[in-house]
Every structure is written in C-alpha cells, then in structure tokens.
Structure 1
Amino acid sequence: MLGRYSDRIWSLIFIVPSIVLIGVFVYGFISWTGYVSLSEWQSLIPNYSFAGLENYTTLFRDFRFQADIRNTIFFTILFIGAVAIVGQLLAVLIDQKIKAESLFRNIFLFPMALSFVVTGVIWQWLLNPSTGVNLLLEKIGISPKWYVSTEIIPGIPLGKIEFGIPVAIIAIVIAAVWQMTGFSLAMYLAGLRGVPEELKEAARIDGASEWKVYFKVIMPQLRPITMSVIIIMAHISLKIFDLIYAMTGPGANFVTDVPALYMFETTFRANNYAGGAAIAIILLISVAVFIIPYLLMNRRED
C-alpha cells in the first residue's frame, strides 16, 4: 500500500514541472496575447489601455486582411485536396509490390526532410520569370508570368476584394503539395497495408472488379486516414508562413499574403503589437475549429 502511494508521489513530482512549464509558456502566453489584442499597444512602448474589440473590427474592415482570408480559403482547399488525392494515388501505385519500392518511397518522402524555407527558395528560383525553368522558356519565345500575376479567377466582387482564386497562389500550392505529399503517401500506404486481404479476396470471389474492391472495400477502411490527413494539412495551411515568406512574400495587391505573414509584419515591423495579437488569436481560433472536434472524435472512439 505504501509502495503504491510512493509511486504516485514520485509520478506527480516528475509531472508537475512539465505541467507548470506548459501552463506558463503555452496557456499563459495565449492568455497574455488575448489580453494584448484587447489593448491599445500600438508602439514600442506598452499601452495596456482597454480597447475592446476595436483591433478585431479594424482587421475585418482592412483590405489586406480580407485578401488574406480569401487566399487562406483557396490555399487550404487546393492544398488539402491535392495532397490527399496525389498521396492516395501514389500509395496505391506503390502498394502494387513494384520493384524498387523502397527507392520510390524514399524519393517521395525526401521533400519532407526539407524546411519550408528551403522549399520556398527552390521553387522561387524554378518559377521566377527571370530565372530557372522560365528563363529557358523565355529564350524560345514563351514568357510565363503566372507566378507574379495579380489576376483573380473568377473575379467575384465581395466587399473590398474580388473573391476568386489568385493565379499566383497556385505557385504556393504546387510547392506545398510537393513537400507534404510524402506524408499523405506514408499515411495511406500504412492504411492500405492494414486492410485485411480476406476482405479483398471475398469481394473478388463475389465478382467485384478491382475498381469496386477499391471503392467499396478499401476506401471505407481508409476514412480515418483521410480524416487525419485533412486535419493535419488544414493545421499546416492555416498557419503557413515560412514557405510564403521565402517564396513570394505578400505579393502585389496581396495576392499571396496570408494572416501569419500579416501578423509578422504588423507586430515586428509596424510595432503594432495589439493588431498582431488580434491576428494571432484569430489564427488560434481557426486552427482550434479543426483540431478540437478531431480530438473529441478520437476520444469518443477510444
């Protein structure tokens, strides 16, 4: 009996420092950021005078922040869709017991070893109209400018912005998909290898074609994998910063700008700490909208 209580006491002794550090450096700083977002701190000199929701209302009236929301919506949709579809297709191909499977798997996983900054620099060089592949195309009479385009397709007026897909954001999507598809591939490949062969064989014996086996038997088994990929990619896309910072910056007319980049410039270049904190809280809420339901769902399943 004494040994059991002794084990619990020692467990608490080891856990308490971690709880205290998480409480201070995670939840404490989140609370402090929320408080700053409601203040009038807009210079290097702190000003904690209460401003209410003024910083938030100013943001949502701002043309740049409206453009950021538009860019984030389309980037998230295109990024998640492409990563899930391409990763699943590659996983199906590799699952066919092809030769040199480990080689292909490593090739697709390699981009994940790079940071988003490195990826941004590489793709910036490749897609820039004055360098890389486009420089070679220009020499033969082709001069693609979509990487620095300010065109919005389709252009639907909404408030101060046109609500449509910025052409330049497609370049960011390509770079992000190139880097993160390996993660989706690994997830789906593990899921495919976990589907019992008996289920597949039973469907084939019943006369199902390979297409029906995949869509009627395998796909339902991969739903938890798909949900995990969507949640994790959504988390990455909503707070994306380093890739865009290294690759394009905010772009002309903010066609490649995102809230995280706006937060960085507002806080550390304009010294508007209250405005930057307001953007940070909005980012936190948007990520929580995806993460919290996912965690609750997993807890119920467990």
Structure 2
Amino acid sequence: MSNRASALPRKRNSDSLRAFLMLLPSLAAIAIFVYGFIGWTGYVSMSNWNSLVTDLSFAGLDNFRFLFRDFRFQSDLRNTVMFTVLFIIACLAIGLLLALLVNQRIRAEGLFRNIFIFPMAVSFVVTGVIWQWLLNPTSGVNLLLKNLGIEQVPKWYVSTQIVPSIKLGQIEFGLPVALIAVAVAAVWQMSGYTMAMILAGLRAIDEEIYEAARVDGASESRIFAVITLPLIRPVLLSAIIILGHISLKIFDLIYAMTGPGAMFVTDMPGVYMFETTFRGNHYGYGSAIAVLLLLFVSLLIVPYLISSRRGN
C-alpha cells in the first residue's frame, strides 16, 4: 500500500514534467516573438534611429514628445476617439436589435443568422474596397441618388468637414464627416458578430424567469429593463472590450478604403505607424507609435481581465 502511495507523487511529477516539455517550444516562441519583440520595439522607441542608418543611441522620451506635438498624431488621437465611440455605440445598438428580433424564434431563423453574420467572414481589406466603391462621390450610392434627381449628394469619405469644429491646440476637435463613412463600413462588418454574442447571452436566460415576471404583471419593456439587460451585461461588456480593441488598432480598413485622407481626417495611429516606419524609415517614431498603441489597448483590456479574474 505504501509503495502504491509513494508511486502516485512520482507519476504526477513525471506527468507535469512531460506536459512542461511539450509546452516548452510554444513558451519559447512566445517569449521571443511576442515579448521579445515588444521589448525591442520599446528599446527602439527611445533611440535616435530615424533614418536608414541604424542609430540606437539613447534619446529618452524625445520621440514621444515629438508625436504629441505633431499635427498628424493629434489628428489621429481625435479620429481614434470619435471612431471608437461611433463604432461601439452603433454595433451594440444594431447587434442588440437584431439579437432581440432573431430571439423571437422567427421562421428561417438560421438563414437570418447566417445573413447577419456573413460580413464577419469578409476581411477588412475587402470591406474597405467594397465600401470605397459604394460611397465614391461619382459612383455607387451617389450615382443612384443623382438618378433619383438629388443633386446635392454627400461627399462621404472625401469630405474635410469637422462638426462641431472646436479649436484645440493645432487641430479642430470634433467629428470628421469622412470618418462616418468609415464607421458605416466597420459597423456593417461587425454588427452581425455583436448580434451573435448578444443572442448567445439571451438564449442563456431561463424562460421561467420571464414567465414569473409576466405572471406578476410586468410589461415587456419592464422585463427588458429589469431582467434582460442586467443578465446580458457581462456579454455587453465583453462586446465593448472586443470592439474597442478592434477600433484602437484598426489599420486594414482605413488603408484600403481611404488612407490618411485630406488633412488626415480619416488617419489612424496604425496607418501613421506603417507609413512612418516602412515608408519614411523613421523607426524611432514608428516604434513610439507602436508602444502608445499597446498602452492604449492595455488600458482597455487589463482592467477587464482583472475584473474578470476577481469575479471568478
């Protein structure tokens, strides 16, 4: 009996060692290609390497000071805030509405679910190209409007107008009209995904809770406000985190659809980083933008992860 008992810890240790050795290649790859490269990017961001000639001499925070004084980067921060707000609110509103409709056990529910989720299967590059044609001032939707006799057609993503225009430092703070067109394309792609998340949350609610509320005389609007919304709040929070993460680091949709735009009205930090690093060869500035992007995403995700861990 004692031999069998002593053999159990040895077997557990052997299994743990075998599992660690199986995971070791993946852990090494993550350490090098994720955290190692993050560390290297942080090191370059504090260097004077802003030309084809490598210069890793220490520059401190000079690259970051330059960015926050730069008109383009200030415009990028404004655009990121405005796009994120538009994108998240629109996706949540449309996703919630679609989820509530599909949750009514309608006929051909599976077909509608697939139709709404289908845009998610398309890459942001393809989405950008499609919506660039649809919202082109001389074709697409505007051509249809002109055929209907409407002469004053929108400029969509080529507009440089900002509303309301509030002078803040070097830039005009407000919502760039051109950014609305980009937000429409992004919402078209991601609202179906948001619907799927919310629908899963709705289907997890026990029907007996609704039946008990109806027996007590609660109206449907009251049931939605007091029962449905509180119970799907974790799903809504998860959707906000995912959508916020996408909006903060968006690159491919902007690059394919509009580029930086006139006066940088549709520019984003990801686009600026790409052009600064790989076209301008300003590796210090590009790395600084990458570090700031990582910090912005971390400020959104880390509190959520901490809250989720405490909740478990």
Normalising by the smaller structure, the TM-score range is over 0.9
Match of 2:188 in 1: 178
1:248 aligns with 2:258: yes
SS at match of 1:44: coil
Q: TM-score, normalised by structure 1?
A: 0.98
Q: State the match for 2:176 in structure 1.
A: 166
Which one of 173, 197, 202 corresponds to residue 207 of structure 2?
197
TM-superposed deviation, 1:71: 0.3
1:301 counterpart residue number: 311
Residue 91 of structure 1 corresponds to which residue in structure 2?
A: 99
Distance in 2 of aligned mates of 1:130 and 1:246: 18
Report the 3-state secondary structure (helix = DSSP H, G, I; strand = E; otherwise coil) of the residue aligned with 1:41: coil
Partner of 1:122: 130
Which residue of structure 2 lines up, in the alignment, with residue 103 of structure 1? Answer: 111
Match of 1:56 in 2: 64
User: Does the CA-based 8 Å contact 2:276-2:286 persist in structure 1?
Assistant: yes
SS of structure 2 residue aligned to 1:35: helix
Any conservation in 1 of the 2:120–2:190 contact (CA below 8 Å)? yes
| Equivalent position of 1:66 in the other structure | 74
Matched with 2:155 is 145
- Deviation, 1:194, is 0.6
Aligned-partner residue type, residue 33 of structure 2: F
Q: Any stretches of 5+ residues in structure 1 without a counterpart?
A: none
Which one of the candidate residues 4, 15, 29 is aligned to 1:21?
Answer: 29
The one-letter code sitting in structure 1 at the alignment partner of 2:198 is: Y
Deviation at 1:196, TM superposition (A): 0.8
**1:147 CA displacement:** 2.5
- Which of the numbers 18, 36, 39 marks the counterpart of 2:47? 39
TM superposition shift of 1:141 = 4.2
Q: CA deviation at 1:137?
A: 2.2
Q: Deviations over 1:26-85 (max 9, x none)?
A: 010000000000000011221101011000000000000000000000000010011011
Aligned to 1:78: 86
Cross-structure match for 2:3: none
Q: Distance in 2 between the 1:68 and 1:100 partners?
A: 43
- 1:12 and 1:136 map into 2 onto residues whose CA distance is 62
Aligned ranges 1:126-137 → 2 under 5 Å: 126-137=134-145
TM-score (structure 2 length as normaliser): 0.95
Query: For 1:42, what is the secondary structure of its paired residue?
Result: coil
The residue identity in structure 1 corresponding to 2:289 is I
Matched, 1:218 2:228: yes
Query: Is residue 2:248 matched to residue 1:238?
Result: yes
* Inter-partner Cα distance in structure 2 for 1:141 and 1:91: 35
CA distance in 1, matches of 2:64, 2:157: 32
Partner of 2:301: 291
Which whole-Å CA distance do the structure 1 matches of 2:40 and 2:119 have between them?
Answer: 36
- Aligned-CA RMSD value: 0.9
| Equivalent residue letter for 1:153 | V
Moved over 6 A (4+): none
Alignment correspondent of 1:7: 15
User: Does 2:284 align with 1:274?
Assistant: yes
